[in-house]
Structure 1
Amino acid sequence: QTPDWNDKTILKESDVLKVDIGVHVDGYIADAAFTITYAEEHKKLVKAAELALENAFALLEKNPTIGEIGATIEKTISEQGFKVVQNLTGHGLARYLQHTSPSIPNIAKQDSRVFEEGNAYAIEPFASTGDGYVREAGKANIFAIEEQRSVRNAYARKILEFVQENYKTLPFAERWLVRELKLSGFALKVGLKQLLHEKCIRAYPILHDRAGSFVAQAENSFIKTKEGIITLVKPRA
């Protein structure tokens, strides 16, 4: 989840911060994420997610099935003493589409499909101190176009035209609209509410595991070619 447009939160040393970034060139996407913490008690959690990603990428060289990737992630995180978040997955990447088929599970599944040459994918393990299951909770600050249609409200129309021109079907954050369109908080609220009501856009709500728990994420994306695996984002040092 991304901050509110007027968010003034100051992070504490005990916090766990997930940074999930997508970039594109002419609609072709690279998707990656990492987790930061300065608290010693959370560093093993962060390492569990990172290690699961490392092991999954190492397995790619052996042409694994999608199910084998999930089994490797689950085994790695479980061995570190944490729960894997079972209802979040990796995914395919397509032009201007950040989440496409197939879903790449973070748990062992009987999925015999293999990664296809010429396609891009993202693998993203989540390690949790909670139940290993996330639920929607809280206000959404990220949206994406669902269907292009005409709207009467001037604020909604201005937002929709800007998003269609600049982001197409890629996700966008409400704070970008404030920055680029110079919208007031009132105009932003009215415009987005109208677009959601008309089903022009969809919202991505905040996801939480059990209250009081912590979740770490690691993600990278790759393309499978005839010559092998091309990792799209250089891992952090």
Structure 2
Amino acid sequence: MAERDSSDDEEATIASDLVVTKYKTASDIANSTLATLIKECIPGASVRSLCQRGDALILADTGKVFKKDKEMKKGISFPTCLSINQCLCCFSPLASDPDVILAEGDMVKIELGTHIDGFISQTAHTLVVGASKENKVTGRKADALLACHLAAEAAHRLLKPGGSDEAVAETVQKIAEAFECKPIEGTQSFQMTRNEVCGEKTIVLNRGEAAGAARKAVDKCEFAMNEVYSIDIAVSTGDGKPRPTDTRTTVHRRTDEQYNLKMKASRIFFSEVDKKFGNMPFSLSAFEDERKARMGVVECVKHGLLEPYHVLYDRENEFCAHFRFTLLLTSHGVDRVTRNFFDPETVVSDHSIEDAELKALLATSTSVKSQKKKKKKAVAEAAASQ
């Protein structure tokens, strides 16, 4: 038997500078899209329109890069969702669904993702509509925002080769408690590999009843060099138990299950999912005929071909904050390639972190060593593909 060429593995990981460039190109587009949506989250804005706007921007911008490779797949790795106040995640209404109009003071979670050649970047940000340095966020909204932001910052510092998922989960729990908040049960962060948003290694926050009932058991893990992670931090002022409601589920992802679909509409729909999205999460709004998509998805979900991303809520009058970012565990440091848009000068809480160890952790630098020569070479290779 011929020996396996180790360069085959390198070409699909961030050991390759070209792969890093693809991750960073995808992240630049995610950052740009998120920055645009943040500016457009104003009183009177339509949530449906903002979701459509985010997806359109991602498709347009990913279509402008690596144009010489006609076979390369690019686009959305997570559809744009905007979830308000006690709604935690995955709200992306269809044309036939009731719209939501943003109002002053609404707490908005924006999630989206991109990919270039299957190399994925995902991000999420929480903002309060109308907040500024002159009109600061206070009260329980501020508690949730600061707890989630600082927990995300701590997770960034703990995600390094040799670190463990347990350390991340325990630290997030401590920071949430300092602000009298709770991590959302079952929130999962995943290792990502090429074309796969849910890799083998997983970090679970708050392994409570929701995590046990709704999620499969997850093994403990240790982080290693050349891995990529989508880090999801979600915090609530309530009990931290996510609840589905009658809000329509519009986001799904293909699984590895096999089943011979009986309905023609389901087969046509699933074939389009496979062709356009592969294993990437998608929204039913991406299909030209919404009615046929809504028909086809039912049998696919029933038989496990598609995993639904349910729209989840905490109790009414509670507030949820959510931050997500993409980390590359490179040889020259842990590189957070999606941007942090949080402005601490717009938020004031009555709580703070007093624990000395947590303070020391948060004071740790996250700077990445310069790799100018290698970066220039990778950029030149990427430019040749444009």
What range is the shorter-chain TM-score in? 0.7 to 0.9
Aligned-residue offset at 1:183: 0.7
Determine the C-alpha separation between the residues in 2 that align with 1:159 and 1:184: 11
1:144 corresponds to which letter in structure 2?
A: R
Determine the C-alpha separation between the residues in 2 that align with 1:197 and 1:57: 37
Choose the corresponding residue for 1:121, options 213, 226, 229.
Answer: 229
Aligned-residue offset at 1:220: 0.9
Give the number of the structure whose alpha-carbon radius of gyration is greater. Answer: 2
What does residue 183 of structure 1 align with?
289
Choose the corresponding residue for 2:268, options 145, 148, 158.
Answer: 158
What are the superposed Cα offsets for residues 122-154 of structure 1, whole Å, 9 maximum, x if unpaired? 222211111012133333111112235553534
Aligned-residue offset at 1:19: 1.0
Identical-residue share of aligned pairs (%): 22
User: Greater relative contact order: 1 or 2 (C-alpha under 8 angstroms, separation 6 or more)?
Assistant: 1
What are the superposed Cα offsets for residues 67-120 of structure 1, whole Å, 9 maximum, x if unpaired? 112222112221122112232121211222212232213359xx9743111111
Aligned-residue offset at 1:4: 2.0
Which region of structure 1 is more displaced relative to structure 2, 125-134 or 151-160? 151-160
Unaligned stretches of 5+ in structure 2?
1-89, 132-136, 208-218, 343-386
- Contact residue 143 and residue 203 of structure 1 kept, 8 A: yes
Aligned-residue offset at 1:167: 0.7
1:219 corresponds to which letter in structure 2?
A: R
Choose the corresponding residue for 2:109, options 18, 42, 46.
Answer: 18
Aligned-residue offset at 1:63: 4.9
**TM-score, normalised with respect to structure 1:** 0.85
Aligned-residue offset at 1:222: 0.8
Q: Which protein is richer in helix relative to its size?
A: 2
- Contact residue 113 and residue 123 of structure 2 kept, 8 A: yes
Choose the corresponding residue for 2:125, options 23, 28, 34.
Answer: 34
2:317 corresponds to which letter in structure 1?
A: G
- Contact residue 140 and residue 203 of structure 1 kept, 8 A: yes
Which region of structure 1 is more displaced relative to structure 2, 60-69 or 41-50? 60-69
Secondary structure of 1:14's partner?
A: coil
Provide the aligned C-alpha RMSD in A.
2.4
Which region of structure 1 is more displaced relative to structure 2, 149-158 or 29-38? 149-158
Determine the C-alpha separation between the residues in 2 that align with 1:94 and 1:201: 19
| 47 and 234 in structure 1: CA distance in 2 versus 1, 3 angstrom threshold | same
The total of aligned residue pairs comes to: 230
Q: Are 1:70 and 2:70 an aligned pair? A: no
- Structure 2 matches for 1:86-235, cutoff 5 A? 86-107=185-206, 113-138=221-246, 139-146=248-255, 147=257, 149-177=259-287, 182-185=288-291, 187-235=292-340
- Contact residue 114 and residue 121 of structure 2 kept, 8 A: yes
Aligned-residue offset at 1:198: 4.1
| 200 and 106 in structure 1: CA distance in 2 versus 1, 3 angstrom threshold | closer
Determine the C-alpha separation between the residues in 2 that align with 1:105 and 1:152: 36
Determine the C-alpha separation between the residues in 1 that align with 2:314 and 2:196: 26
Which region of structure 1 is more displaced relative to structure 2, 199-208 or 21-30? 199-208
| 68 and 199 in structure 1: CA distance in 2 versus 1, 3 angstrom threshold | closer
Q: Which protein is richer in strand relative to its size?
A: 1
